[in-house]
A and B are shown apart, each in its own frame.
Chain A
Amino acid sequence: MAEKKQISLTIDDVVVKVPEGSTIMDAADSIGVAIPRLCYHPHLSILGACRVCLVEVEGMRNPVASCAYPAEAGMKVRTSSTLLRRLRRDVVELILDNHPQECQTCERNTNCELQKLSFELGIRDRLFQGERKRYKKDLSSPAVTRDLEKCILCGRCVRVCEEVQGVTNLSQHRRGFHIEVSPAHQGNMMNSVCVQCGQCANVCPTAAIVEHNDSEAVFAALADPAKHVVVQTAPSIRAAIGEGFGYEPGTPATGRMVTALRLMGFDKVFDTNFGADLTIVEEAYEFMRRLQNNDRLPLLTSCSPGWIKFMEHFYPELIPHASTCRSPMMMLSVLLKTYYAEKAGIDPKNVFVVAIMPCTAKKFEAKRPEHFTPYGVPYTDAVLTTRELIWMMKCYGMDFRHLQDGEFDNPLGVSTGAADLFGTTGGVMEAALRTAYEKLTGKPCEKLDFVEVRGVEGVKESAVKIDGKVINVAVSNGLQNAKNLLDRVVRREKEYHLIEVMACTGGCIGGGGQPYPPPGMHIMDASLLKMRAKALYTIDSQKKLRKSHENPYILKLYEEYLGEPNGHKAHELLHTHYEPKFPRGIR
């Protein structure tokens, strides 16, 4: 590909050189001039709707939107002037005038892009107040809630759902003052093709879309002396929780996280990683059997509930290919209310399971009818996102930095390095390959780092040699990428054996419930995702046990409780089924 030509232009009297095709905003960013912006997002198409990023270009009558206007050689740009300051201020005030005035009681207080801009642009009075739009909140979905009164119509949710996730659940409806962003028929998130992945919440600059708040249920359980409240934490949490307390992304904080949870009053702190190791064992056996019988290949992983719902809407014909394994969170929740309750001598009905997840779809997964106990309550009682946990910890008044390191409880707290990898794209594949290799060949796996499936690219493919056979594997993250890959599978363009699909960009570390990025970084930034992934790879490399099937507590579990992997009891407790869902998604 030919190198792009460099052009030079002047921004605020500074000469800037950028490749041809850059926008004025790109050019300004390169010299540290961060033009205020709202609807712009580096990983989404350009809309030019908010009109905050206006700049003056010499020779043009009106200011232009710097996010959309291409930089041209010899251009002279002013990013700040009396006019621009006034225009930006007025534009953002107009947004405020159609917005609730409840910053102090809002979920995004101190963390809201609109609030930040209002302060930075110097809006200190309200000149244009008038009619305000009124909407009822959309509380239909267990994963995300929508408050259209707080929507500033930046269109990011529409774009991420269409361009990155390929779901296109949201669109602008009506027009003019009555325009609103909603699912088809101006309906709600539950009765739509929404896969609950929460990427819309991730990119939303305000509290218009936030995860469903389950903290009250957890607070209540913690305060209930009759309840034995246990918590499990996903692999991604330990790499991201520090961000809520000023740590750089990718700072592992496992020990402090455990201590914090104990301080909050959880009776036991377990590790979803245990469930991940268990998933690998079950899935490896499942894969071996499919491989032997050449049955329903490729096998598709099933730990991402956003991906599972996506499959049920968009690719129902691939349902037979999905692994019947429950997700690590679900496996652990089931064990908590059966194996653990038995072992600890607690009535399972009094066990309250809380899961900390980087994911909003897990909230939906927890309520799927397939994951209910026979006596009518969910196995997972409540799911909290990383964001929710961070503020709950702040609510308790914890000085995270100065907590001591703690250890997970047993018997569901020990995990191998393979389990930690689940949080990043390619991690499930790598963990699976480590176990599959040994089980298929009967020989120890020397090279544990399957680097060919590491990295945050959208789709990675590799051919892995196991026992003389070539296993074609593929890893995708982000559902549009999944579509591209699965279309090839459906068209039988290539023979795949094992495919890992993660709904979110970067895998779970980029999940819908993860902390909002620090200033200067954005959701879906490769650098951010790499930093969080690195933490997990580091944890993995520092562990002694790095293969799921070597986890001694897993072996004990099978021995004393489950019997055989994929056996009858394992199937009953650890496996599930899927069903086509409507409305049918458009490919």
Chain B
Amino acid sequence: MPTTPLAQVLKMRHEAISRLFDAKFKAITRITVGSATCENAAGANPVYDRFVHLFGQNKKPGVALGRVGCAGRCDLEPVVTVISKGKIPVKYVKMTPAKVDKVFESHVLGGKVVEEYTMEHVAGLRQFKKIVSVCHGAGCIKKNLGVEKAFQDAITELGLGDSVAVTRSACQGLCERGPVAFVYPDSTVYQKVTPEIAKKIVEKHLHGGKPIAEHTWSGKRLANRFLPIYGNVQFFGKQLRLTLRNCGVIDPENLDEYLAVQGYEALGHVLTNMSQKEVIDAVTKSGLRGRGGGGYPAGRKWQIAYDQKSDQKYFICNADEGDPGAFMDRSTIEGDPHTILEGLMIGGYAIGADKGFVYIRAEYPMAIQRLEKAIADARAAGLLGKNILGSKFNFDIELRLGAGAFVCGEETALLASIEGSRGMPHPRPPYPTVSGLWGKPTCINNVETLANVPVVIIDGPAWFSSIGTPKSKGTKVFSLAGKVNNTGLIEVPMGTTLREVVYDVGGGIKGGKNFKAVQTGGPAGGCLPESTLDTPVDYDSLAAAGSIMGSGGMIVMDEDSCMVDVARFFLEFTQDESCGKCTPCREGTKRMLEMLERITAGKGKEGDVEKLLRLADTVRKASLCGLGQAAPNPVISTITHFRDEYDAHIREKKCPAGVCAALVTYTIIADKCVGCTACARKCPVQCISGAPKKVHVINQDACIKCGQCLLACKFDAVLRK
């Protein structure tokens, strides 16, 4: 008779796996279609429906069809993964119903992979039979001593070059066992690999088909289920998925699937074997810092809330992800909603709260719907509510929706919003942990922070703190966007350099253009130039470089981005979202925006930059809350690193990147113009003159700089500068 909460969870898992066995695990082939807001916008639903239709017509035993959350490779969605036993999972990208037909016929029925539809093909890879992924984390590289080369040499020697590939992986947190190498699809982990052992592995395992037991490591980590499916593609291979461990792996709307991957085991363990203090100690030892942007040590926050004596305490998950261009929390919730609930419950247990809230922005309808379903399923299974898993612990969770206010991501504004008021921040102290929701001690943590909690509990704080840098432990999720080849959601160990993110994971700058800057931290962050590319990604290093970690937005810019315009764009956002309570933010950001608008319109004056810096300093130091305090960051960092662009705008009335409409001139290059008249015909103000077959000329006085001529010209004869 299972009595302890942990025993009950294990029993539930066992039952879940049984239920899933028929539907999923006994299948020889599993096909998963991505399902998330981004996936669906790209057309995932018709793709799924097409599969359903085809399977309806062709009964194929041994094949299971399911849906999973978004794995993070946004520019290639919709993604369909075909997982066959003993083979490296094939990831089809940019799928359409028509492509489904081809894949079904060729691969599902005929066993032949459609190479040109695969992610591997896009990445320039072939379909290998096996992959050796050599860990390139800092710890392993130190001891590496030619392991990667040894693998490559041995593979070439044995003529396996066509079927076995060697790639690099990010630190997987096995540093004490390094150098580490993974073999896919066997999910074998080799530890303490030397060049000699590497050679043996190639001979005995890759060629002979038999893993070498004495060199393997058979431990299990929560994060391990992701890489076997996606790890062969560099974009994923260089990631370490803790927060996003289940995204793209499980069906987010099925509690059984969460249970099957050790879901709620952390909760069971906590309720059975750990006191409140022990839980807090574990989180403290792990070094987990708030992932919402502040980076405040989570353990310390929980400790303070725990120390307060009160009849009522609350725990709130902040899912009001408002940074434009950030979607880490959305993907996490859409792909793995139960992990948030589990983290919330463990936190509530630790501080002594019996009521939890998830404050989520209303612009995320699918995340809301998945969360509501997860809560309902958890309640029905006795995982939420009174006497959870037969213990004395009561906890229930309520959703509260935002209504379109970025500032409500700030702690005190969030509390005001839940209380039904305007989301205007309040001076601290008192901090929410002492006096929060309705005056009661309240802990507020970001989605990503809470998603890490089960990892800390199951895999242990010691392991968690072995990943990352001395002051920034664990991983960080980033939404990588902008002018890189591979955009999407990534999770890398803290300490990974910006260069590795942009080039190894991001695949370098699109179109072969030049890197200019990477913007981190959303509207509160800064723009970092090329000279800072070797900065490791962690709280303190990014701050020292002049930006912030923020919630994880990371936008890459190339030579065609105007940094003054970027600053103006962010300030426009901040101005729109300012709550208006305090003078410096309400008035100061407006004045800064006015100055930037003048500068980008060609009306900048000498002395404007100095004024901007002065006002930026005032706004930063005098504002009431983080929104105002961080609003000037994009301005300050662009002035610091790209002063010459500002000067060009002001003194020469020129925009070097050719972005600011008022400062750009369009001219026709006489040598290239063939007189086709296409531009003249398109020009809305008829300012291009020239006879057919003769060189055309743009009248600068009448030109309104709409750019239609540039679009119309097929001979590259229009120059925009």
Contact = CB atoms under 8 A, between A and B. Distances in A.
Q: A and B: direct contact (Cβ < 8 Å)?
A: yes
A83 B618 CA distance: 9
Interface in B425-458: 426-427, 429-430
Nearest to B590: A177
Contacts of A50: 582-583
A177 to B, nearest CB: 5
A297 interface: no
Given A62-B621, A83-B621, A90-B615, A176 B427 contact: no
Chain A contact residues, majority secondary structure: loop
Q: Sort A-B residue pairs by CB-CB distance and give the 4 closest, nearest first.
A: A179-B580, A48-B427, A68-B427, A94-B587
Contacts of A52: 583
Interface in B383-407: 405, 407
Contacts of B169: none
Given A97-B587, A128-B591, A130-B590, A177 B580 contact: yes
Contact of A127 (B575, B586, B611): B611
Contacts of B579: 175-176, 179
B71 to A, nearest CB: 37
A95 B583 contact: yes
Most-contacted residue by chain A among B427, B594, B622, B624 (CB, 10 A): B622
A86 B619 CA distance: 12
Interface in A83-115: 83, 86-87, 90-91, 94-95, 97-98
A49 B582 contact: yes
Determine the interface band of chain A, counting residues with CB < 8 A from chain B.
35 or more
A152 to B, nearest CB: 8
B629 interface: yes
Contacts of B580: 153, 172, 174-179
B332 interface: no
A65 interface: yes
Nearest to B588: A94
A68 B575 CA distance: 25
A131 interface: yes
Interface in A18-68: 46-52, 54, 62-65, 68
A210 B439 CA distance: 36
Contacts of A411: none
Interface string B601-629: 00000000001001100101111100001
Contact of B575 (A65, A172, A177): A177
A316 interface: no
A96 to B, nearest CB: 10
A48 B624 contact: yes
A70 interface: yes
A422 to B, nearest CB: 40
A63 B622 contact: yes
B576 interface: yes
A176 B583 contact: no
A176 B591 contact: no
A90 to B, nearest CB: 4
A276 to B, nearest CB: 43
Contacts of B479: none
Interface in A512-545: none
A69 interface: yes
A393 to B, nearest CB: 36
B584 interface: yes
B583 A130 contact: no
Given A48-B426, A62-B620, A176-B578, 16 more contacts: A49-B583, A50-B583, A63-B622, A68-B427, A90-B588, A91-B622, A94-B618, A95-B587, A97-B587, A97-B591, A127-B615, A128-B588, A128-B611, A175-B405, A175-B407, A176-B577
B422 interface: yes
A65 B622 CA distance: 9
A68 B407 CA distance: 20
Contact of A91 (B424, B576, B583, B590): B583
A59 to B, nearest CB: 14
Contacts of A90: 584, 588, 614-615, 618, 622
B581 interface: yes
Contacts of A176: 575-580, 586
A46 B611 CA distance: 32
Contacts of A152: 583
Nearest to B629: A62
Nearest to B592: A128
A127 B591 CA distance: 10
Contact of A51 (B424, B429, B583, B611): B583
B586 A153 contact: yes
Contacts of A64: 427
A87 B590 contact: no
A128 B427 contact: no
Nearest to A47: B581
B591 A94 contact: yes
B623 A51 contact: yes
Contact of B622 (A51, A70, A177): A51
Interface string B338-375: 00000000000000000000000000000000000000
A62 B615 CA distance: 15
A172 B582 contact: no
B368 to A, nearest CB: 24
Interface string A149-184: 000110100000000000000011011111100000
A179 B586 contact: yes
Contacts of A91: 583-584, 618, 622
